[in-house]
Amino acid sequence: MASRSLPFGSPHGTPLSAYRQRQSQPNFNSASSVEKIRTFLNKSINESIAEEASPSILRTSTINQQVMDFPIHVDAELLGNYLTEVANKAMEDLEEVWDEVGFHNPEDRSRLIAEILVDFKSLCSKKIQVERNVAEQFRASIVAAKDELRDLSRALKCDVDSSLLDENSGQTLTDELQTLETHLETVRAAAYAVSADLIEYRERLLAMHQSLGTELEARWMDVESDLTNSRREEFQQYLNEMQHVVNNRTSSIIQLLVDCRSLIIELSIDVATQKGKMEDILDEQIMESLEEKSNGGRDLSAQWLEKVGISSASLKYLTTRISELNSEKRKRKQRLGELGEEIALLWEKLHISEE
């Protein structure tokens, strides 16, 4: 089972379309078949010499046209008549050529005839193998269709007609594959509806966990084995929970940023001259981290979300930075108190009144 690609699809159908094309030709009764064969035979043999002198592409085109022009679906008897006509005409033409050339040795003539028979047998063997390969494609497609039907039915927790999965259904390969495809259409539609939602939920969960700096559990990565409505509801519930976590984290980050900005302004820190490592969150970024919303609230800027985000590392850094700024504020207050005492002592020594 994968653009959002879904974990199921239909790799079948090619053998069916090929056989439907074969069966689309008209049939004729046997009374007129022999004459039609004879007409077709004479036309084909008369054109054979010209075809041999033509380029390969033209010869292939001519052969394909002859196949399309063939008048009937032949049975064994008619095929025998056709081959007899071909063989007799070929022997007449060969003997005429051999007599003209002076090729009279019976053994040599028999050897060439044997070569023709061997070539014909080889051609028949190749054609038979082609048809066997088609049958094997049918069998492979049937196996794949049954596997898909089992998997989707298991994922949907629905029963499947056991007769569809029997090894020997008693049907032709064409009919069996068509029956499976018909049932699969309904099952695929039901699976697609749930799978599409699960894939969307998974992508949203991945984005949330990435923003939080966490990993999505493996059980939420599976969008194939269970395609029931209850599974979809589980995803929806977890998605709502994670959205609540993201909202809370965002609110916490925003509040920390507000507090940091207030302390930076209060302490008159020159953020433009601040030095730090590339991975550090600089006060300059903190000062540019928030955007005012139309309703009077605040939101994280796109720059902050792109470069810093709302991960636990960001939360930890801002908490630490606020602690540092508060510590610096306390130090300054303490120093100011000490300076005040020193100034008061000097005033006393200089006998300067408090006024």
Q: Tell me how far apart the alpha carbons of residues 77 and 82 are, in angstroms, rounded to a whole number.
A: 9
pTM above 0.85, yes or no: no
Q: What is the pLDDT of residues 210-256, one digit of tens each?
A: 999 999 999 999 999 999 999 999 999 999 999 999 999 999 999 99
Q: What is the pLDDT of residues 297-326, one digit of tens each?
A: 788 888 888 778 888 888 888 998 889 899
The residue type at 338: E
What ranges in the chain are assigned the alpha helix state H? 14-22, 30-52, 56-69, 76-101, 106-156, 173-212, 229-266, 283-287, 302-307, 312-349
Count of other CB atoms within 10 angstroms of residue 198: 22
Query: Exposed (0-12), middle (13-18) or buried (19+): which is 279, by Cβ within 10 Å?
Result: exposed
Whether the CB-CB separation of 121 and 155 falls below 8 Å is answered with no
One digit per residue, the tens of pLDDT, for the chain of length 355 reads 444 445 555 444 445 555 444 444 434 344 444 454 445 445 554 555 455 545 555 545 655 665 555 555 667 777 788 888 888 888 888 888 888 888 888 888 888 888 988 998 898 899 999 999 999 999 999 999 999 999 999 999 988 887 788 877 778 899 999 989 999 999 999 999 999 999 999 999 999 999 999 999 999 999 999 999 999 999 999 999 999 999 999 999 999 998 988 898 888 887 776 665 544 567 888 888 888 777 767 888 888 887 788 888 888 889 988 898 999 888 988 888 888 877 777 777 776 665 5
